[in-house]
Each structure stands twice: as structure tokens, then as C-alpha cells.
Amino acid sequence: MIRVLLTRAFFDDDLAYLWAGLRPDVELVTPPAFTPEALLAAVGDVDALLGDTLTRSLLERGARLRLIQVPWTGVDRLDFALLRDFPVTVCNSHSNAVPVAEMAVSLMLAIAKKVPLHDARLRQGNWMRPTRGEPESHVPPTLVSGCTAGFLGFGAIARQIAQLLSGFNMRFIATDARAGEAPPAPLAAVYPPGGLLEVATASDLLFVTLPLTPATRGLVNADVFAAMKPGAYLINTSRGEVVDEAALYAALSARRIAGAAIDTWYQYPKSGEPRTLPSARFPFHELDNLVLSPHRAGFADGMLPHLQDVITNLNRLAAGEPLINQVDVHAGF
């Protein structure tokens, strides 16, 4: 029997999904409260932590700890300096790659084809047809077939996006920390992270699929937007902070680029404040060349895809099998 301590509160549906998939010899331990004191009292005889709540005291007292399992993809909230001091494996989850990729493609098509804009105008009776002397009244969709799609990062989600877009006869390029001599299929070219501007310059559709780390925070900045084509689109299903907030608003409001579609933001609702705009600094919600999505890419109706890799790893830990999605605590992702 292995015991897994929950370090954060999970919804009842999440717990039911986990219990249904776990082996009988995996026990989930829910503390009486998710306070530092309660977690410390429970950690002494557990084999794994499920969540990203970590303290030095917790790791020191967890003498049996073999795994810290993050139940989602992002690991930017982990204290990697702390983790380097302890010989415990850290893993995250990539099993939501397919729904995130589907959302990225949906957002791309929504902004490129102007679906939300035309929907909003038509609800007011405005067909936005070409009008003599008023060319601004006509905003035609963009043809995406034959475009160049660029990826900032080419991990599991980016590969799924490229697969979904393969029917559009696109050219794919990317930056990737593992860039070698030959680009992996289906990439026509792969650049090291320092080739960011080259990818931005060549792309008609630029997908942000990087993890948030100290090196990537604010990476997509004013220089990147200046390098992009005026008719290009940015799609972000990664983390909001990878894209510089002020630079994004400036590029969109000045129409330096054609538009953007964003699923991850700069301000999120707090408990008791269900109505929250996605930015405290800029009125993104007023822009008509932006598609806004409320961080929904990793969800799917009737499913909890991000938890599937959690189940796989906890079952593997119980069976003594190799773990998947191990995080490099020195690299930070």
C-alpha cells in the first residue's frame, strides 16, 4: 500500500475520478485541513504528495516521500531552489494535451475567421458587408490554408496542435530547447530558444506553448510584436505571464498585429469575487481584434483529462514502474 497526501483541496468529482482509476493499493490521504500544521502532521508516513504546496518543513518531515505529483502541466509555482535540496522525484501531467490543442486550434480559427466579431455585429443587425466609401465596415476572414504556423516551444501540446493543423497544408516552424541538426517531423525548421525573433518574423500564426519559467516570463515582448507580420495572429494557451501584458495590449490596440486569441490571463477571480476582468491594467475586453477565453483549454465535458497522468503515475509508483513526465528541477520544467 502506498499513501498519497493531498496538499490542496480537490473537488468531489476530481476525487471520484481519481479513486475510480487508482489501484486498490493506492490510498489518498485527505488532511483535516489544508493548513501547514495539518499537512505536517500527516506527511510523516506518506509516499507521495499530490499538489504543488511545498515547504522545507514538509519535505524534511516526509521521510518516506518518493514522489511529488503536480496534477496539471504548469510547474511555475514550485520552489525549485527548495526541491534541489531533496532527492524526491517531481512529475507533472501532460494528459490534457489533446483538449488544450483543440482549444488552441479553435481559438486560432475564431480570431482568423473573425467569428466572434461577426457574431456580435450580426446580433445587432450589422452584416458588415463591403460599403462604398466605408471600407472599414468589411472585415473579411483570413485564409489559414498555406500559412506558416510558428510554435514557441515544441512540447506535447505543440505537437498535438501541429497534428490537428496538418490538413491545412501549413508550414510548421518552432523554437525548441532540444533543437538539433535535423528538425523533427512535421517541422520545416527548428530554432534554439534564441531564434525567437526569426520564428516570430516568419509566422502568420504564432502559438505560445512554452512553460512559465524565469527565462520565459515576459519573453513575448514589444520586440517580438514588432517582428511579427501586420497580418499575423498570436494564440496563447500557455501562461499569461509568458506574454508581456503591456506589449500585448499595445500591439492589439494599435493594430500592430491582426489579432490574438488568449486562454490564459493576468488577473483571475478570487474567492467571493466571481466577476473579474482578465486584466487589472488594460481594457482587453474592449478590443474587437481579440478572442478571450476564461482558461478553459484543459477541460473537456464529462472528463478530467489533466488527472489521467496523475492516475498513471500513482499506479506506476505502487507497481514499482518508471514514472512519466519527470520534471527537471534544475531546468525548472
Res. 196 pLDDT band, cuts 50 70 90: very high
Query: What is the reported pLDDT for 144?
Result: 98
Query: What is the reported pLDDT for 292?
Result: 98
Sign of CA dihedral 286, 287, 293, 295: negative
Query: What is the reported pLDDT for 64?
Result: 96
Query: What is the reported pLDDT for 4?
Result: 98
- Compute the mean pLDDT over every residue in the chain, rounded to the nearest whole number: 95
| Residue whose C-alpha cell reads 530547447 in the numeric block | 177
The two beta strands, 89-91 and 171-175, are unpaired
Q: What digits encode the pLDDT tens for the residues 116-162?
A: 999 999 999 999 988 766 666 789 999 999 999 999 999 999 999 99
Instruction: Return the exposure string of 182-218: e unless at least 16 CB atoms fall within 10 Å of the residue's CB, then b.
Output: ebeeebebbbebebbebbbebbbbbbbbbbbbeebee
Spans of all domains in the chain: 2-95+302-319, 97-292
| Residue whose C-alpha cell reads 475564431 in the numeric block | 110
Domain boundaries 2-95+302-319, corresponding CATH code: 3.40.50.720
Give the architecture-level CATH label for domain 97-292: 3-Layer(aba) Sandwich (3.40)
| Residue whose C-alpha cell reads 500564426 in the numeric block | 205
pLDDT of residue 265 exceeding 80: yes
Is the separation of the CB atoms in 233 and 206 below 8 Å?
yes
Indicate left, alpha or beta for 186 from its phi (over 0: left) and psi (-120 to 50: alpha): alpha
pLDDT of residue 41 exceeding 90: yes
Q: What digits encode the pLDDT tens for the residues 63-90?
A: 999 999 999 998 999 999 999 999 999 9
pLDDT of residue 182 exceeding 90: no
Query: What is the reported pLDDT for 278?
Result: 96
Res. 312 pLDDT band, cuts 50 70 90: very high
Give percent above pLDDT 90 in the chain: 90
Per-residue pLDDT, averaged over 27-39, amounts to 97
Per-residue pLDDT, averaged over 153-176, amounts to 96
Query: What is the reported pLDDT for 302?
Result: 86
Res. 274 pLDDT band, cuts 50 70 90: confident
pLDDT of residue 107 exceeding 90: yes
pLDDT of residue 21 exceeding 80: yes
2-95+302-319 matches 97-292 in fold: yes
The two beta strands, 89-91 and 148-152, are unpaired
Q: At what angle do helices 156-165 and 97-112 cross, to 10 degrees?
A: 50
